[in-house]
Structure 1
């Protein structure tokens, strides 16, 4: 059942809630980490390994990357957009988690969300 804004009385307070998949606040990131640990990794904090927690954090970051990537793909579908591609024979796969935190500009809120969960971000990054 959906509710239109026209059916909400004018004096009724509303609450803005960030989406756990795309939100960038510390609380949203902490909640997303906990949700991925339980629903994606199938673990709860008492039995989770550092690898499970690392994967949960990676999924939290992936959710935010995916939103931006799909927005970019949507823009590229416009007929007036030109794309230049560069092909390199060298392919170096390296650690991406910390780079993605920096590129998304969420290193500080993720660090705080992880700390509030009783974890150490540097240790999780070393898991990679």
Structure 2
């Protein structure tokens, strides 16, 4: 009986933990290819800034961006976390105007901006 109860509790805990992560549906998106293509990067940025159309991936990202900034991407998969770090580093170091626009929109009080800049500028 204890084994059955443990199994049920473990299964519920696992299911809850899984639902606490963002979807991994777009984890196959090739971040390096997007960042290497200025036009594609600009399209994603315009989506985030509500200045252009969004792809399905863009809409998904936009729906979680504020929460992810606030909680350090704690609901991200490992692949998403690595991708987020890569994108933020790229924006800070190579597309800083976009970084400023995005943080002005999603972090107007600059609560998280400086934290990520310190963490990722040196990488």
TM-score for both structures, normalised by structure 1: 0.31
User: Which structure has the higher relative contact order (CA within 8 Å, separation 6+)?
Assistant: 1
Query: Quick check: which one's helix share is greater?
Result: 2
Flag the structure with larger Rg: 1
TM-score for both structures, normalised by structure 2: 0.32
